[in-house]
Amino acid sequence: MLISICLVVFPVPQLCEFLTNEKKQKVFLTCEQDEQGSKVKDFFEKFSEIFEEMKWQRKLRHQPTLYWFSSQMSLWSDISFNFAVLINILVAVFYPFNKGLKDLDSRSSAAIWGGLLMTLITILIKPNATSMRMFFVAGILRSIYSVGLGPTLWLMGTIQVLNKGIFLVSFMGNNGTFSKSRYENLTNFQLVYHVGYLLLCVLGLCLHEFFYSLLVS
């Protein structure tokens, strides 16, 4: 007996092109498997949420500025994490800040300037994440021994607050927060988490540096 297999092709609606990579990854990671190991059932239970987000993403394309910030969400997230780590390293190494710093000898100072210049050239010729991190590290070291630890930490904290604020706007733009009800936003764990994260950044900048330690806990 011959068994024939019929190929069934389902057309992909045009609206699906507005599904973001972040949403695809979130659905893939959070959909629960059933007893047969399939995620299909949970996927269809979340379909209404996905559908609404795709409609919002289509509207977002008509707001170029908000769309640009929203499309760079991964970049803002990486910057926020790296700054949180660097700030905590500075606090751990140099606290209390009133003990003062030793003056750099000419060789160490030249090495920092050299590292700063080399990483800047690398970024201009062939930018990559590693060279940018090294540039920021060299710049932070140069700032510490030029203007002091306190002003450097304050500047980094200010940049962290501004960047986290930008990330929050991009997160809200990507998730259609502006089109959801107040109750939906208040019960959105990720949104509440990122608002709390921004609040900790502000507290670390304005009240005490130890609040920064909660950013990487």
| Average pLDDT value for the chain | 81
* Rounded CA separation 185/172 (Å): 10
* pLDDT digit string, tens, across residues 27-45: 777 777 777 777 777 777 7
* Rounded CA separation 56/20 (Å): 11
CB 104 within 8 A of CB 112: yes
- Short-list 203, 135, 207, 194, CA closest to 167: 194
CB 46 within 8 A of CB 24: no
pLDDT at 199 over 90: yes
CB 67 within 8 A of CB 60: yes
pLDDT at 61 over 70: yes
Residue 67 CB contacts under 8 Å (≥ 6 apart), including other chains: 60, 61, 173
Residue-range domain boundaries for the chain: 17-26+38-88+148-217, 102-146
Residue 173 CB contacts under 8 Å (≥ 6 apart), including other chains: 60, 66, 67, 69, 70
* Rounded CA separation 201/217 (Å): 13
pLDDT of residue 7: 55
What pLDDT band is residue 165 in, cutting at 50, 70 and 90? very high
pLDDT at 207 over 80: yes
Q: What is the pTM of this model?
A: 0.74
pLDDT of residue 162: 94
CB 88 within 8 A of CB 216: yes
* pLDDT digit string, tens, across residues 117-161: 988 888 888 878 788 888 888 888 888 888 888 888 899 999 999
